[in-house]
A = this chain, B = another copy of it.
Amino acid sequence: MTHRFPVQVYYEDTDMAGIVYHANYLRYIERARSDWVSSLGLDQNAMRDDGLVFVVRRIEADYLAPARFEDRLEVVTELSSVSRVKMGLTQSVFRGEQLLFKAEVTAVCMTMAGRPVGLPAKICALRA
């Protein structure tokens, strides 16, 4: 699957170097993951009411070129691996054809008390 998600850069996202503050790319790709999860028919509000949340375990991120105020970006998300308990996502941020940022994200599902649980069936079902 390939999921595409638009992001626009606002004042809040920039820092005094005149570019997007590096931590904010993690917010951008998290928005994209939420949109993707929602597109699978999963309701994170309902999950949380059941005491379940997605948790990021690991991120490897490469910053290739800076985004700037008013840039219109696209986050491209691809599922790179999925097991019963863990998924790997490749998430890239593009401005037009130019790749600005790329991350490998490993995420799991946990109870709010921190106990690992299996991923939702709708995600496990994406296993090739």
Contacts and interface: CB of A to CB of B under 8 A. Distances in A.
Quick one: which of A26, A60, A112 has the most chain B CB within 10 A? Answer: A26
A62 B68 contact: no
B59 A16 contact: no
Given A44-B69, A58-B62, A16 B11 contact: yes
B16 A26 contact: no
A99 B27 CA distance: 23
Chain A, interface size: which category? 35 or more
Given A59-B59, A62-B57, A63-B56, A69 B31 contact: no
A50 interface: no
A30 interface: yes
A15 B14 contact: yes
A44 B31 CA distance: 25
Interface stretch (A17-25, A80-88, A120-128): A17-25
A12 B23 CA distance: 8
